[in-house]
Amino acid sequence: MSQMPQQAALPKCPSCAEPLEPGDLFCGACGYDLSAVPAPPADQPTLTMTGAPDGDVDWPEPEPATTGGTEPRAHRAADVPGTDSGGTPLLAPEPAASGVRFDRPAEAREPAEPEEYPLQAPDPRAESPAQVCVACRAGRVDGDGYCENCGHAQPRERDHMERESGPVAAISDRGLRHHRNEDDFAVAHTALPDGTPAALAVVCDGVSSATRPDEASTAASRAAADVLLAALPRGTHPQTAMHEAIVAAAKAVDALAETPDGAREHAPHQNAPACTIVASVVASGLLVVGWVGDSRAYWVPDDRSAPPARLTEDDSWAAQMVAAGLMSEAEAYADERAHAITGWLGADAYELEPHTASFKPDRAGVVLVCTDGLWNYAEAPVEMAEVLPPDAATRPLHAGRVLVGHALDAGGHDNVTVAVVPFPTPPQGAGSA
């Protein structure tokens, strides 16, 4: 078997200066290949490293091993500026720390222990700053939404809501007198099976004398909108879909009254959650409205020379008096019993009688779907048309803000909610309303 030529034994590793045993081919400490070390030449003086005129560096011969007490120093490539075989600049060696040897492989090195461990700055998002009262600007707000200093209730997310969906927009505001907003709404747009666009709006007014009226209006508006969004794309006639939506809304409100027996024992005199509802669908030249209670829908044409109209009839004491011929409209609505409703959604309501109606306007306009918090300040259709901006069809959200602002400026005694549903120019051949 062929053997590699043997070299004279070295007393110490020329790389790390560790003692070597006779016959070692590699350094046990750093793994240095001892077979690549040439035989020590004759004793020569140490040479300094100088740059050659052409920019090259003259490498010195390795320092010989000595026996006079001075240990040899092995030069490494990183001791001087230069590049590796691939042309990459060599990095200068890092200063050696106590107990650390940089001639070992990187994975074998132990990092120096830092004197101090820096602490990470706290994340400002981890804890939100304490909310300050909007009334006194000094007190902190507790978990229930009241100021610990002045006791003022803070605005809730539901106090003012704005939403857009395609061509439809709606706004709801708590008003200036109520401590919470018991109204709610839903707006959406979809398409009929033939691709014709359809827009819808649902507005619900919680009955304040009932339990949890805000939950009732939310449950009803969402249930009605869900049914309409499911029925219209299937090709269900909008008026039929409207009837189904009101029935579904009534069931959703009824379900809120299903409380445990223990809860009934603690509050036996509470009324079941209740609300009113009014909704509108605009699709394929058809305008459909549905309602239970005293929330209303108005029609206002873009051509203000044409008369506006109210599309719903209230389920209220005043409306009954007028329908029976016992009082004029002015007399009935001046009575303190005028706004007592005779129809509503709720487990303790009378037999449910959803009202629906279909219209085919012969011109473009908008449908206003609103609670009495708005129409109390613009009851007649002409009054509502006067408040509505002329560009309501193209800027429905702006129009809704104007209407809500009108109610607030006039006193804002109730929650105010309105949805603006544009009715585009009907196709040729559509009949009149």
Distance of CA 307 to the CA centre of its chain: 42
CB 395 within 8 A of CB 360: no
C-alpha 242/C-alpha 225 separation (Å) is 9
For 135, other C-beta atoms within 10 Å of its C-beta total 14
Largest CA distance in the chain: 135
Q: Which two tokens stand for residue 308?
A: 């506006």
Q: Which two tokens stand for residue 238?
A: 């909008």
Bridge partners for 161 per DSSP: 172
Per DSSP bridges, beta strands 309-310 and 197-206 are unpaired
Q: Give per-residue pLDDT as tens, 218-260.
A: 999 999 999 999 999 999 999 999 999 999 999 999 999 976 5
List b or e across 354-382, with b for residues whose CB sees 16 or more CB atoms inside 10 angstroms.
Answer: bbbeebebeeebbbbbbbbbbbbbbeebe
Going by the DSSP 8-state scheme, the letter that residue 37 receives in this structure is: S
Provide the 8-state DSSP code for 158. Answer: G
At 2 the pLDDT is: 40
- Element of type H or E holding 374: helix 372-375
Q: What b-and-e string marks burial along 48-67, b requiring 16 or more CB atoms within 10 Å of the CB? A: eeeeeeeeeeeeeebbeeee
Cα of 76 vs its chain's centroid, Å: 60
Place of tokens 């009839």: 313
DSSP assignment letter at 30: T
Q: Write down the pLDDT at residue 12.
A: 75
pLDDT reported for residue 369: 98
CA pair distance 421, 185, nearest whole angstrom: 13
Burial 139-177 (b: 16+ CB within 10 A, else e): bebeeeeebeeeeebbeeebbebebebebbbbbbbbbee
H/E element, 265: helix 261-266
Write down the pLDDT at residue 13. Answer: 77
* C-alpha span between 118 and 101 (Å, rounded): 26
pLDDT tens-digit profile, the chain (433 residues): 443 444 445 667 777 777 777 777 777 777 777 766 555 444 444 333 334 444 443 434 444 444 444 444 433 434 444 444 445 554 544 444 444 444 444 444 444 555 554 555 545 444 455 678 866 778 888 877 788 888 877 777 889 999 999 999 999 999 999 889 999 999 999 999 999 999 999 999 999 999 999 999 999 999 999 999 999 999 999 999 999 999 999 999 999 997 655 444 555 456 899 999 999 999 999 999 999 999 999 999 999 999 999 999 999 999 999 989 999 888 988 898 988 999 999 999 988 889 999 999 999 999 999 999 999 999 999 999 999 999 999 999 999 999 999 999 999 999 999 999 999 988 765 544 4
Tokens 């002045």, located at residue:
150
Q: 145 — alpha (psi -120 to 50), left (phi > 0) or beta? A: left
Q: What is the pTM of this model?
A: 0.66
Using alpha carbons only, what angle is made at residue 192 by residues 292 and 225, rounded to the nearest 5 degrees? 35
Phi, psi of 199 (to 5 degrees): -125, 145
Which residues neighbour 186 within 8 Å (Cβ) at sequence distance 6 or greater?
201, 202, 221, 222, 224, 225
**The pLDDT of residue 298:** 98
